[in-house]
Amino acid sequence: MKKQSIQLSLNDFPKELHPYLADVDLYDSSCHSNAQTLYLPPDHYLKIDTFGELAREAMMTKQFHQQGQGVEVIKYLSTDRDYLLSKAAKGEDLTHWLEDPKQLCEIMADKLRNLHNTPIAGMPISLRHERFIASAEGPSTGGYYDPSVAMKRFPVASKEEAWQIMQKNKHHLHADTLIHGDYCLPNIVCSDDGNVTLIDLGLAGIGDRHCDLYWAIWSLAYNLGTDVYTDYFLDFYGRDSFDYDMLQVIAAFEVFG
């Protein structure tokens, strides 16, 4: 994760957080979401978002931590804004593992297979899955069309084509697996001893495994600059565990928004 040094005043934060913010150099480690993420050396992260936005992420992070798959939540505060303070995961996110693409694929596929085999009892439905269902049941003119999330091997030519694919295949979506919901390289942290931790779990819950598979291969292609490792990743995950044609369906749901 990138870390850019910043200066902030303690008065900008709730008093409960002051012990963690005082006398430390702060770094902005925000990614592409609307939330701001601060790195508090040596081993804490503070995520800040609008009121109520981090409640679900705090809940899911706690559940994943109990399973040994997520970081420890130190505090969740919802005041003027939402504040989620957590321990830092050990290691580096997988954008730092690009020099050995096959090892990268193996780490991602192995962790994803283990996640998808996790019992789902007591877990809520993934927000990603809820959005899929809402899109499919909404008006064909609704949502937006974002071709940047499509892949060359799963092309979607237009919003109209996406809608048609969705309508033809929406009954094939199954909420039967614990998914991350945004299974991309920056959200997977691996230590030198091979321990893998998942972060940014606001979309996690019960959903369709093909969602995670799609974002895994999209993220691999985006970060490696090539999709030649897609099949290696899918082979390592296990071809008998998914329906390849469903990846095209997920592409349609994603570009439709």
pLDDT in tens, 228-257: 999 999 999 999 999 999 999 999 999 987
231 a catalytic residue? no
pLDDT one-digit tens code per residue, 57-85: 999 999 999 999 999 999 999 998 999 99
Domain residue spans of the chain:
4-87, 92-256
pLDDT for 176: 97
Tell me whether domains 4-87 and 92-256 share a fold: no
Q: What integer pLDDT is reported at residue 254 of this predicted model?
A: 95
Kindly name the residue from 49, 182, 200, 212 that is annotated as catalytic: 182
pLDDT digits (tens, 9 = 90+) for 123-169: 999 999 999 999 999 888 777 889 999 999 999 999 999 999 999 99
pTM for this prediction = 0.94
**What secondary structure, in 3-state letters, does the chain show?**
CCCEEECCCHHHCCHHHHHHHCCCCEEECCCCCCCEEEEECCCEEEEEECCCCCHHHHHHHHHHHHCCCECCEEEEEECCCEEEEEECCCCEEHHHCCCCHHHHHHHHHHHHHHHHCCCCCCCCECHHHHHHHHHHHCCCCCCCCCHHHCECCECCCCHHHHHHHHHHHHHHCCCCEEECCCCCHHHEEECCCCCEEECCCCCCEEECHHHHHHHHHHHHHHHHCCCCCHHHHHHHHCHHHCCCCHHHHHHHHHHHC
Tell me the CATH class for 92-256.
Answer: alpha beta
- Indicate if the pLDDT at residue 173 is higher than 70: yes
Tell me the CATH number for domain 4-87: 3.30.200.20
